[in-house]
Amino acid sequence: MKRNILKTIVLAFAVLLIVSCEESFLNFEPEGKLPEEEFFVTEAHAEQAVNAAYAHMRTWSQVAFPLYAIQEMPSDNALKGSAVGDAAFLNDYVYFTVTPNEGQVSDYWSSRYKGVNLCNQVLSNIDKTNTSEAKKVRLIAEAKFMRAFYYFDLVRAYGDIPLVVNLDDAVAEASVRVPKADVYTQIVNDLTDAATDLPVQYDSQNVGRATKGAAQTLLAKVNLYLENWDEAATLTDEVISSGQYRLMDDFWGIFRIDGENCAESVFEIQCPYDDGDWNLTNCQNAEPQGPRGDYGWGFNVPTDDLANAYDEAGDTIRKNATIIYFGKEAPNGDVIGGIGVNEMEGVSVPRYNGKVYSTMQEREELGWWCSWGANVRVLRYAEVLLINAEAKARSGNPSGAATSLNMVRQRAGLPEISNPSVEQIVNERRLELAMEGDRFFDLVRTGQAASKLASNGFKTGVNEVFPVPQNIIDMTNGTITQNSGY
């Protein structure tokens, strides 16, 4: 008996020597996670990967501080706002003192490249999945639309940039800047493909995905930047004649939660709201712009210059919907609360971007944090008409321009202009699309930046683009170069 026990123990010892030497003891799959080798196998994986590229559009760096900092605050439309000193770094964008280390510059950059990568993942891997052919064509087109969307932001903000389109060559592509013309070529190609393959509309369970109209509109907008007026006019004519879209009567209503995916919407970022899931409910576009001391933080506030522009145009409908003042009534009757007079940085009477305001009724009905679920409007039919007008005006078709322009003016309650100038159309763009993220790029594109922004410190030849983030310059040992002047 004793012998047996002892033998067993000794045997166990010997066995352990072998067993623990087995590498299998150390080899197991990660707990609770799917290894990446198991991805891109099924059609579901392909769809999930495309969905992730959409989902990325609503993340902080896409829709919050970096967006305001790059696309709105440098323009004559907006100031930092909020309390004195809170997020003071945003003033670097208002006053053109930004340095390559500033966080918004690098967040804007890296976030959009993340979006590009999510699209590249789909485009490079979808052939490994068992996705049906029809679905594959659509998913590829969606990915191309989004890749163009992300690159359009990048090329406008930074000029020449690394152009990463191929996963196999990604490291090499990411280490060198290409001329912005090459980036635009890629954008045009992707959008052209997308416009060909995307459906005109989706079933009710897929509303919000990129459509043919969205691709055409974005391509038309890109063509404004490329000064291809005819293409821009043709594309927008097609969108107009598709009959898919119309201007809504109530300008204020477009921007409310009830107005999401309305008939005027060409593309908007879908932002889910789920009370229990704050990873799903993570779109903070509206909250940082909401009334400070009420539900919001009070950043990215309209300037007096913008207010004056509305006043000069006699435009009260859009002014009241775009700029909401502390202590005054919003178009729906809410009295705007929050911090009081002299408590907002840069202005005496606090004011906010009305286009992202959560009404008290919405908060009452949908919940206090409902602004997190508000979709971000990217392309509206009004912009289709304004692109159309501008392209036609610039290509010598003032009557065509007037038709489109006046549809927009009419909705805003303004008199028609029979023979509009380019300047008038660009000004109309400002009034219609203010605080929607286009103004600074428009000022640069139309050559007005120097004159409009010099008083804020805009330097011609430097501030048309933002600095390339310092860390990519450091980590590539300078193969990525800095924009001049930074």
Partner 1 sequence: MKKNDCFFRESRFPGIQKLINVMKLTFTLLLISVISVYASETYSQTKVLNIDMKNSTVKEVLQNIEDQSEFYFMYSEKLVDVYREVSINSKNQKINEVLDELFAGTNVDYKIKDRFIVLSTPDGADFEISIQQQKAVSGTITDENGEPLPGVTVIIKGTTQGTVTNYNGEYSMQNVEPGSTLVFSFVGMRSQEVIVGDQTKIDIVLEVDAIGIEEVVAVGYGTMKKSDLTGAVAVLKNDDIAYKATANAAQALQGKVAGLQVTNSGEPGSSPVIRIRGLGSVRSNTEPLYVVDGVLTTDITFLGNNDIESISVLKDASASAIYGVRAANGVIIITTKRGNKDRISVTYSGYAGVQVPVDVMEMANAQEYIQLLNEKGEIAAKKTGGSFTPYDPSTYTVSTDWYDEVLRSSAFTSSHDIGFSGGNEKTLFAAGISYFEQEGLMLFDLYKRINVRASVDSKVRDYLKIGFSLNLSNRNSHNSPNVAQAAFIAPPAVSPIDPETGNYMAMTEFGDYANPLVDLMFIDDRTNSNRLVGSAYAEFYLMKGLSFKSSFGVDGSYTRDRIYREKYELTGGTPSDEIERLQRKMSYDYNWYWDNTLTYTGQLFDNTDITAMLGISAQDQSGLWLFGSRKGVVLYEGYNALYLNLGTPDTQSNDDGGSHIASSSYFGRVNISHMEKYMLTATVRRDGSSIFPENNRFDIFPSLGLGWVVSKEGFMADQKAFDHLKLRASWGEMGNNRIPELTAVGTVDYSTWNSTEFGGIIHQGASATYIGPENLLWERTQEYDLALEGYMLKSRLSFEVDFYNKKTIGAIFPVTVNSALGASNSSYLDNNADVLNRGVELSLGWKNSYKEFNYRLSGNIAFNKNEVVALKPGTIGIYGGWMNVNSSTYTTLGHPIGEFYGREVLGIFQNMSEIENYKGPEGTPVQPNAQPGDFKYKDQNSDGVINDKDRTFLGTALPTYNFALSYYMEYKGIDFQVDLYGQGGNHIYNAKRFRQIGNENYDKDFYDNRWHGEGTSTTYPSADMASNDNKVVNSWTIEKGDFWRIQNIQLGYTIPQSLASKIGIGGIRVYANAANPKTFFKYKGFSPEIAKTGAEAATSQGVDSYVYPMAATYNFGVNINF
Residues from 97 through 116 that contact partner 1 (CB under 8 A): 97, 99, 101-103, 106, 109-110, 113-116
- Which parts of 413-452 interact with partner 1 (CB under 8 A)? none
Cα maximum dimension of the chain: 111
| 467: phi then psi, degrees, rounded to nearest 5 | -70, 145
- Which parts of 315-354 interact with partner 1 (CB under 8 A)? 339, 341-343, 345-348
From residue 184 to residue 223, the character string flagging contacts with partner 1 as x (rule: CB under 8 A) and all else as - is: ------------------xxxxxxxx--------------
Number of residues engaging partner 1 in binding (CB under 8 A): 116
- Considering the complex, state which of residue 208 and residue 253 has its C-beta at the smaller distance from partner 1: 208
From residue 356 to residue 395, the character string flagging contacts with partner 1 as x (rule: CB under 8 A) and all else as - is: -----------xxx--------------------------
- Considering the complex, state which of residue 253 and residue 346 has its C-beta at the smaller distance from partner 1: 346
Are 102 and 91 in contact by the 8 Å Cβ rule? The answer is no
- Which parts of 390-419 interact with partner 1 (CB under 8 A)? none
Structure tokens at 234: 């043709």
Are 322 and 434 in contact by the 8 Å Cβ rule? The answer is yes
**Residues ≥6 apart with Cβ < 8 Å to 272:** 280, 281, 373
Are 337 and 349 in contact by the 8 Å Cβ rule? The answer is no
CB 53 → partner 1: shortest distance, Å? 8
- Considering the complex, state which of residue 142 and residue 193 has its C-beta at the smaller distance from partner 1: 142
CB 136 → partner 1: shortest distance, Å? 17
- Which parts of 260-299 interact with partner 1 (CB under 8 A)? 270-272, 274-277, 279-280, 282, 292-295
- Considering the complex, state which of residue 127 and residue 274 has its C-beta at the smaller distance from partner 1: 274
Instruction: Name the CA dihedral angle for 82, 86, 90, 94, rounded to a multiple of 10 degrees.
Output: 50
b (16+ CB within 10 A) / e for 48-81: ebbeebbbbbbbbbbbbbbbbbbbbbbbbbbbbb
- The DSSP bridge partners found for residue 265 are 380
- Considering the complex, state which of residue 178 and residue 422 has its C-beta at the smaller distance from partner 1: 178
| 378: phi then psi, degrees, rounded to nearest 5 | -110, -50
CB 212 → partner 1: shortest distance, Å? 16
Q: What's the distance, CA 423 to chain centroid?
A: 26
Listing DSSP states for 347-397 in one string gives: -SS-EEEGGGPPPHHHHHHH-TTGGGGPPEEEEEHHHHHHHHHHHHHHTT-
Give the H or E element holding residue 219.
Answer: helix 212-225
Report if residue 18 touches partner 1, rule: CB under 8 A.
Answer: yes
Out of 10, 263, 335, 454, point to the residue binding partner 1 (CB under 8 A).
10
Are 408 and 251 in contact by the 8 Å Cβ rule? The answer is no
In this chain, which stretch among 173-181, 184-192, 223-231, 381-389 interacts with partner 1, using CB under 8 A? Answer: 173-181
- Considering the complex, state which of residue 313 and residue 344 has its C-beta at the smaller distance from partner 1: 344
CB 183 → partner 1: shortest distance, Å? 12
Residue type, position 365, single letter:
E
- Which parts of 73-92 interact with partner 1 (CB under 8 A)? 83-89, 91
- Considering the complex, state which of residue 111 and residue 404 has its C-beta at the smaller distance from partner 1: 111
- Considering the complex, state which of residue 347 and residue 379 has its C-beta at the smaller distance from partner 1: 347
CB 13 → partner 1: shortest distance, Å? 5
Q: What is the rounded CA–CA span in Å between residue 53 and residue 115? A: 6
- Which parts of 116-145 interact with partner 1 (CB under 8 A)? 116-118, 120-121
Report if residue 168 touches partner 1, rule: CB under 8 A.
Answer: no
- Considering the complex, state which of residue 268 and residue 432 has its C-beta at the smaller distance from partner 1: 268
CB 451 → partner 1: shortest distance, Å? 22
In this chain, which stretch among 212-220, 406-414, 448-456, 475-483 interacts with partner 1, using CB under 8 A? Answer: 475-483
- Considering the complex, state which of residue 344 and residue 449 has its C-beta at the smaller distance from partner 1: 344
- Which parts of 27-46 interact with partner 1 (CB under 8 A)? 27-28, 30-36, 38-40, 45
Report if residue 159 touches partner 1, rule: CB under 8 A.
Answer: no
Give 103-160 as a 3 state SS string.
HHHHHHHHHHHHHHHHHHHHHHHHHHCCCCHHHHHHHHHHHHHHHHHHHHHHHHHHCC
Listing DSSP states for 232-275 in one string gives: HHHHHHHHHHTT-----S-HHHHTSGGGTT-TTEEEEE-----T
CB 82 → partner 1: shortest distance, Å? 9
Out of 22, 133, 168, 249, point to the residue binding partner 1 (CB under 8 A).
22
From residue 224 to residue 263, the character string flagging contacts with partner 1 as x (rule: CB under 8 A) and all else as - is: ----------------------------------------
Listing DSSP states for 294-346 in one string gives: TTB--EEEE-HHHHHHHHHHT-HHHHHHHEEETTSB-TTSPBP-SS-TT-STT
CB 442 → partner 1: shortest distance, Å? 26
